[in-house]
Homo-oligomer: A and B are copies of this chain.
Amino acid sequence: MKRYEKFAEDIAELIRSGVLGPGQRVPSVRFASQTYGVSPSTVFQAYYLLERRGLIRAKPRSGYFVNTHAPRPFSEPQVSRQSDGSTVVDVSDLVFSVLDSIKDPNTVPFGSAFPSPMLFPLQRLARSLATASRDMDPRMVVTDMSPGNPQLRRQIALRYMVGGLMLPMEELLITNGALEALNLCLQAVTEPGDLVAIEAPAFYACLQVLERLKLNAVEIPVHPREGIDLDVLAHNLERLPIKAVWCMTSFQNPIGATTPEAKKQALVELLREHQVPLIEDDVYAELYFGQHASKPAKAFDTEGLVMHCGSFAKSLAPGYRVGWVAAGRYAQKVERLKLMTSLCPSMPAQAAIADYLQHGGYDRHLRRLRDALEDQQSAMLAAIARYFPAQTRVSKPAGGYFLWLELPEQMDSLTLFQMALAQGISIAPGPIFSATRRFGNCIRLNYGSPWDESCEKAMETLGKIVRSLC
């Protein structure tokens, strides 16, 4: 990171944390230069950057100010009520009908599960693919069946190490994306009919996996900032034979919550007491907006109870389908399930990503990607402020690319979904995120596409439909 980028990031952090409020003056160039020991031109460069990103703006002859155009402080979505007991999961038809209908590449993709492919270094990856496949040892295609490409596993372990988490290479298994990893983990620790604690709202694929494996769900409320409700979870662990807990600890899909590190530690401790495994879906980990990633729950695991799943699908290359799992004490069981299910992941993709991680500039790409996503979040929040009813509640996640909107209570998001689709706009309606089909007045919006006129226009249209339905 260049000096001015570092300084800009410091100022941005002050704005994010509220130390510098909307309309407040940011330090003058002279003051900042003296106080922080950087050159005036560095400060200028930093302020240009912040201006471009919409965080501050220049007033002629007065200096720089925190943007008052910044989104008004929305209320947070409410924490869901606790649902009663366990539920047979049966939402696939609904989920598929929604997913099928948003496939059309001409719709505005607010309902998409991925960031725009334009944000990924696909040309650079193609070079890695060419290099890696040229250099691939032919014997590898037979002998390296599982647990995956050793160079790739080494690179992943290295990234964790830099982040303060020591993952032994032997524990790391490469999978066909995180979805396969999550499937294998859940299957390793459950039998059909077992009970699994999941989040409410939950990522719909989690519901589908439960349904596929014929598992029952008990839903635990998720706070839009603080993550899963530990008291409710503890209560349920006491009274129900829960066999596993599945949760997304960072930038939870759909609500955006990141469980604070201390709470992650408490979660791991709680599960240790009950000897219940945690399946940690951490696929958005790299998409944080601040200075540092939050440590995963896995970092606090001393007994191998956390099965930690990651992926390059959201941060680098969706179509390559390369994910991984560090499954702790279940590692061998998961590896064997993988062998029985699909033998091993595709080798060219693994080799290409291993090469890219070594030579392609992943961290530089990630910084650009995070900046882009943060900008796009601001733009979408601003558009919500402009076009949506005042009672709208919105999450403001510190990473990822989803906003969770709670609309006025009478709103039916499935109707909204149909009406928006008729206008060429996809959204993800709330009920696909719940085993009990709740969140009928909520929607998830994807801000993963570079903001342009069509996005702005689509938000205006959406806002009109919402108002017409209230």
- Residues of A whose CB lies within 8 Å of any CB of B are 92, 96, 99, 103, 105, 112, 114, 116-118, 120, 122, 125-126, 129-130, 133-134, 136, 138-145, 175-177, 179-180, 183, 187, 192, 205, 208-209, 211-212, 214, 317-322, 336-337, 339-349, 352
Q: Which residues of B lie under 8 Å from residue A342 when comparing CB positions?
A: 175-177, 179-180, 183, 321, 342
The residue in chain B whose Cβ has the minimal distance to the Cβ of A214 is: B192
CB distance from A104 to the nearest CB of B (A): 9
CA distance A143 to B117 in the complex (A): 10
Q: How far is the CA of A117 from the CA of B105 in the complex (A)?
A: 39
Q: Considering the chains assembled together, what is the distance between the CA atoms of A236 and B85 in angstroms?
A: 43
Can you name the residue of chain B whose Cβ is closest to the Cβ of A448? B142
Query: In the assembled complex, which residues on chain B have CB atoms less than 8 Å from the CB atom of A345?
Result: 176, 321, 346
Flag if B341 contacts A322 (CB, 8 Å).
no
Residues in B neighbouring A347, C-beta threshold 8 A: 319-321, 349
> In whole angstroms, what is the CA distance A220 to B396 when docked?
60
A114 vs B143: C-alpha distance when bound (angstroms): 10
A118→B214 CA distance, assembly (Å)? 43
Q: What is the total number of copies of this protein in its complex?
A: 2
**Known contacts A122-B138, A208-B340, then 8 further A-B pairs from the complex at CB < 8 Å, ordered by chain A residue:** A96-B336, A99-B339, A117-B138, A122-B136, A129-B133, A133-B352, A144-B319, A321-B344
Q: Given the known inter-chain contacts A134-B130, A138-B120, please indicate yes or no for A322 contacting B346, CB distance below 8 A.
A: yes
CB-defined contacts of A212 to chain B, threshold 8 Å: 187, 337, 340-341
Chain A, interface SS category: helix
B346 touches A141 (CB 8 A): no
Q: What are 12 A-B pairs with beta-carbon distances under 8 A? A: A105-B139, A116-B142, A122-B136, A125-B133, A140-B319, A187-B212, A205-B340, A321-B342, A321-B343, A321-B344, A321-B347, A346-B349
Known pairs A212-B340, A340-B209; A142 contacts B183 (CB<8 A): no
**Inter-chain contacts of A177 with B (CB < 8 A):** 342-343
- Complex A-B, nearest 4 residue pairs according to Cβ-Cβ distance, in ascending order: A141-B319, A346-B346, A130-B130, A319-B347
What's the minimum C-beta distance from A442 to chain B, rounded to whole angstroms? 23
A127 to chain B, nearest CB (A): 8
Q: Which of A138, A141, A342, A352 has the most CB of B within 10 A?
A: A342
Chain B residues lying within 8 Å of A211, measured Cβ to Cβ, are 340
A352 closest partner in B (C-beta): B348
List, in ascending order, chain B residues with CB within 8 A of A337's CB.
212
Knowing A212-B340, A342-B183, A346-B345, say if A318 contacts B142 (CB, 8 Å): yes
Chain B residues, CB < 8 A from A139: 105, 117
Q: Specify which chain B residues have a CB less than 8 angstroms from the CB of A321 in the assembled complex.
A: 342-347
CB distance from A338 to the nearest CB of B (A): 10
Q: Are the CB atoms of B130 and A142 closer together than 8 Å?
A: no
Task: For the complex formed, measure the closest distance between the CB of A173 and the CB atoms of chain B, giving whole angstroms.
Answer: 14
Nearest residue in B to A137 (C-beta to C-beta)?
B117
Query: What CA separation (Å) do A352 and B130 show in the bound complex?
Result: 11
Q: Please give me the residue from chain B that is nearest to A187 by CB atom.
A: B212
Q: Bound complex: CA of A208 vs CA of B192, how far in Å?
A: 17
Cα A175 to Cα B145 with chains together (Å): 17
Contacts of A319 in B (CB 8 A): 140-142, 144-145, 344, 346-348
- In Å, the complex CA distance between A101 and B423 comes to 60
Q: Smallest distance from the beta carbon of A246 to chain B beta carbons, Å? A: 14
Q: Which residues of B contact A346 (CB under 8 A)?
A: 176, 319-322, 345-346, 348-349
- Please report the C-alpha to C-alpha distance between residue A103 and residue B140 in the assembled complex, in whole angstroms: 11
Provide the residues of chain B in CB contact with A344, threshold 8 Å. 319, 321
Q: When chains A and B are docked, how far (Å) is the Cα of A140 from the Cα of B340?
A: 29
The interface residues of chain B lying within 8 Å CB-to-CB of A336 are: 92, 96
CA distance A187 to B99 in the complex (A): 22
